[in-house]
Structures are given as C-alpha cells and as structure tokens.
Amino acid sequence: MIDKLTYSERQSASFILVAVAVVGLLMAAFGNSNQLGVHGVIVMIFAAALLYPVLSAIYAPEPVEDREASYYDDPIKVGIVLAMAWAIFGMFMGVWVAAQLAWPNLAFDAAWSTFGRLRPTHTSGIIFGFGGNALIATSFHVVQRTSRARLAGQVSPWFVLFGYNLFCVLAVSGYFIGVTQSKEYAEAEWYADLWLVVVWVTYFILYLRTLARRKEPHIYVANWYFMAFILVVAMLHIVNNLAIPIAWSSAKSYTIWPGVQDAMVQWWYGHNAVAFFLTAGFLGMLYYYLPVRAQRPIFSYRLSILSFWGIVFFYMWAGSHHLHYTALPHWVQTLGMTFSVMLLVPSWASAGNALLTLNGAWDRVRSDATLRFMMAAAVFYGLSTFEGSFLAIRPVNALSHYTDWTVGHVHAGALGWVALITFGSIYTLVPTLWKRERMYSAALIEWHFWLAIAGTLIYIFAMWNSGIIQGLMWRTYTGENTLAYSFVDSLVAMYPYYIARAFGGLLFLIGAAIGCYNIWMTVKAVPSTVPATPDAPETAAAVPGE
C-alpha cells in the first residue's frame, strides 16, 4: 500500500504522524498521571504503529504506473476491515450490557465494567466504529465510481480513515477509564472532539475535490446524501461540543450551553446524528448498492428529489421530540412534534423508492441473500421511521418516553436498517473491490441474513413488550389515586424481556461473526477475476458538467 505513494507523499505521511506523536507526547507530559496522560500515551502508540510501516518502506521503489488511471481502493479495503472489526467489538459490548441488565453481577465488581461505562463503548463502537468506517469506505467507493474519477488525494484518504479511527479509539478507551462529557452519542471529551473537526474538514474537502473532478455531468443521488452527511455532521459536532476544558492539562471540560438550552442543543445534535449519520449516509449506500445489485434503474428520480429535500429540511426541526414533557417550553415541543410527523412522508418516499426499484428483480431478492439484506433494510427503514414519527406525538410519547420502547425503536433502525444495509453493501462491494468472482459462500450469507433477521425481530418484540408494560405500570393508579406499582415492580416485570433481548443481540452478533469469516475467506480463497466492464476512471480530460 505504501508502495503506491511517491517518496514525497511518504515523507508528508511521516511528517503528519510525527506531529501527531508529538501532540501525544505533550498530552502525556501535561496530563501526567491523569486520564489525559493516558490518552497521550495511546495517541503516541497509535502514531508509532502507523509510522513504523511508512518508515520501513520510505525508500522503496516509487509507483511507475499512472495512478490516475485506476481507482484508489486501498483505503476502502482497510476501511471495510476496520468496520467489521468494530462491528464485532461493538456488538459484543452490546450483548454484554444487555446481559448485565438481566444479570447485574456480570459487571464483576470493577469500575471499568459497570453498565454506565460499557454502554457508550457499545453505542460509539457501533455508530462511529462500525457505521462510521463503513460510511467512509463506501463513500470513497461510490464517489469514485459515480464520478468516474480517482479520489483527489493520495495521503488525505488515509489521513481521514486513520484519523477517524484514532478518534474512535480515544472515545471508546476514554469511557473505560471514566472520561465522558455525559452527552449521549457525544461522550468523547474536548481534545478528541477537536481532533475530529480536523479529520472531518479534511474529509469534506477531499469529497468536494473528488466531486469537482467528476467526468459525469450530474451528481448522483448517493453523493447528495453523502455530502449532506459529511456537512451536517460537521455542523452538529462543532455546535454541540462547544466546551471549555477546566485546564489544558485535564481531560474534563464543561459545555458552554446552560440548562435547558444544553438539553435542546444536545437533542438537536442527537436526533440529527440519527438523521444525517445513521440515515443520510446509509441512504447514500442504499442508492448505490441496491440498484447495482438488483440491476434495475432507480424507480423515480423525482421521488429521490422530494425525499432528499424533505429529509434534509424536516429532520433539522425534530430534535425537541426527545424532550417532551420536560423543562423545555411547550411551544418547542409542538414544533418538534409537528415536524416529526411531516417528516414521515419523505422518509417513506425513500423506502418506497428503494422497494419499487426492486420491481422486476423480485426473483433475485428471493435467490440472492445479499439483495435481500438491502430489501429488508428498506422495509425496516420504513417501519422505524413510521414508529419514530408516531413516538414523537406528545400523548404517545407520554407513554413511551423513558421506557424500553425507545430502545426497541432505535434498534429497529440500528439493526434492521443501518446494519442490514451495511452488510448488503459490503457483500456487494467485497468481491468487486478485491476483484474476486463472488463471495466465498452464498450459504453463509443466507445464514447471516436469517440470524440477523431473527435477532432483530426478537430484540424489537422484546422491547416493545417490555416498554409498553413499563409505561403502563408507571402510570397505573390505585383507587385512592396513588401509584399502583413501585419502580422495582416494573423492573421485575422487565426481567424475561431483558433475557430475550440479550439473546436476540447474541444471534445478531453471531451473524456478524459469520460475515467476517466469509469476507476473510473471500479474500483468501476465492479465485480472482477480471471485471467484465472496465473498472477504471475516465482519464480523458472531460470537463465536469460537460
């Protein structure tokens, strides 16, 4: 991989890595024995681990071929491997915390393994580790193919990929040692947040510059979504994480947002993380890999436009539905609720557009588990967006808020939509990327598919039951107008559902492990092939937009 870089590119890579290591050293020195110091050491190790291969090959022969005549696939391959590694880690942590809820002794009486610390390792591991790496990898793939142009940089794709993973490592390792901002899905502390800004801006510029090189007159829908994802996540991340560290030598910071405004900013961020990270980005994936796999044209270009702008516009307003019946003023809640309901149609339009694209390919959905992954993802996307709008209605929310119903809803989206579309996309992508005839085993993809579906259904049915029972128990009154149940009573009622949920999660994890094995064997054991249609950028100097 390093042999594809020129000598001067290798030099700049080394320079960047040395600079990162120096920052790590400073953190370690100033943070001395506190958590910042620990993170300084981690940063140094991370940089050194990458510096070693770069330096060992720094005088290796330079590439002779014309790099612009081929797509830049190495970072994508590494991104896929990292995504799968994070998937296993994140899902394992998920099963563990789920099991802790049923059997609290599984925390083994240590501080690092308490529920409060492990839970964000699960959410960040999955959302940022698995989801984020999959998004970066597929976005690099999609933007090159749909622009017929190579990525606009040799070192920057690596910088984005590894820089992003450094952020993930800092975030997750921090939770174990008690570093947190206590903002859901934004737990990482100020220095990690600053670093992510640098990485993310590089990502955005790289993406824009690549698009600017395109040899196609139009920008494909998938790229609209990827752009919305990158741009809005930058905005959300910066605003929500505005904070002042208590000292430059400390890992701890305080947010600049006071009281209920903090809550509002947090859930504006939180909900739009769902919208632009977990929805827009993955719709980008769907819009590329689904039609490619189904070999069908997109059902309706006009519907794509309607749903894209609908989603981008309405989501922005919906965050306050996370704060119904709180100190947040009533009028903000009404706004959040009504915009959440108006959001439903554009969401369903996307799901419908995907499913109608399959018209003429349903026989293939039946026989090809990879395509079925994407079909099921679109169905779950439709289901969970309906559920989301429904839960955003205040009187419904009065029952569902703070219950497991919310958790079930999130997982209908996370397992059913995000993970399934990712697996479908990866199974489509891996053989093309490594130039293999096919995936190693179609039977194993079937296994993965059914384990994932069974796990998801068990999970969400358990949480629907448990959530609704919880909600009802909390609002049942005796004839004397006192509460009929104590909180502990509701916990006892949850117990069987917590066991079922952990079991559903375990099935999903086993499926992902099978997927890893299948990918590994595809790369190792399946004979390579030359693609029927040439898979290379257009090198003739065509002008973008004709």
Partner 1 sequence: MEVKEQDPVTGRETTGHEWNGIKELDTPVPRGILLFLIVTHIWAVAWWFFAPTWPLGTTYTKGLLGIDQRTTVEERVVEGQQARQDWMARIESEPYDQILADENLMQIVRSSGRQLFGDNCAACHGRDARGRANYPDLTDGDWIWGSGPEAIEQTMRVGVNTEHPESRIGQMPAFGRDGMLERDQVRAVAAYVYSLTHPEFSTPENVERIEAGQQVFAETCSACHGETGEGSAEAGAPNLTDNYWLYGGDLDTIIATVHGGRQGHMPTWDERLTNAEIRMLSLYVHDLGNRQP
Residues of the shown chain interacting with partner 1 in the complex, contacts defined by CB under 8 A: 145-146, 148, 216-218, 220-221, 288, 291-292, 295-304, 306, 325, 329-331, 333-335, 337-339, 341-342, 344-345, 348-349, 352, 359-360, 478-489, 492, 533, 546
- Smaller CB distance to partner 1: residue 52 or 487? 487
- Smaller CB distance to partner 1: residue 204 or 386? 386
Give min distance, CB of 101 to partner 1, in A. 17
Rounded to whole angstroms, the Cα distance separating 362 from 355 reads: 10
Using DSSP bridges, classify how beta strands 243-245 and 253-255 pair: parallel, antiparallel or unpaired: antiparallel
- CB under 8 Å to 260, separation ≥6 — which residues? 326, 327, 328
Give min distance, CB of 238 to partner 1, in A. 24
- Smaller CB distance to partner 1: residue 124 or 304? 304
218 is in an annotated binding site: no
- Smaller CB distance to partner 1: residue 174 or 346? 346
CB contact at 8 A, 376 and 453: yes
Give min distance, CB of 476 to partner 1, in A. 10
- Smaller CB distance to partner 1: residue 8 or 295? 295
- Smaller CB distance to partner 1: residue 64 or 488? 488
List residues bridging with 243 in a β-sheet: 255
Give min distance, CB of 303 to partner 1, in A. 5
Q: What kind and span of H or E run contains 356?
A: helix 344-357
Rounded to whole angstroms, the Cα distance separating 522 from 527 reads: 8
By the 10 Å C-beta count (0-12 exposed, 13-18 middle, 19+ buried), 8 is classed as: exposed
Task: At 88, list the tokens.
Answer: 């296993």
237 is in an annotated binding site: no
Rounded to whole angstroms, the Cα distance separating 336 from 541 reads: 48
* Residue 542 backbone phi and psi in degrees, to 5: -80, 150
- CB under 8 Å to 382, separation ≥6 — which residues? 347, 348, 351, 352, 355
For the beta carbon of residue 272, count every other beta carbon within 10 angstroms: 23
- Smaller CB distance to partner 1: residue 138 or 333? 333
Residue 125 is which amino acid? G
What angle, rounded to 10 degrees, do the helices at 156-176 and 74-102 form?
20
Give min distance, CB of 251 to partner 1, in A. 33
- Smaller CB distance to partner 1: residue 35 or 338? 338
Rounded to whole angstroms, the Cα distance separating 139 from 157 reads: 11
Rounded to whole angstroms, the Cα distance separating 18 from 51 reads: 8
Torsion of CA 132, 133, 138, 144, to 10 degrees: 110
Residues in the chain: 546
401 is in an annotated binding site: no
Give min distance, CB of 298 to partner 1, in A. 4
CB contact at 8 A, 331 and 320: no
Give min distance, CB of 205 to partner 1, in A. 22
Give min distance, CB of 154 to partner 1, in A. 22
Binding residues for heme b: 122, 409, 411
Q: What are the binding residues?
A: 122, 271, 321-322, 409, 411
Q: Indicate the annotated binding residues for Cu cation.
A: 271, 321-322
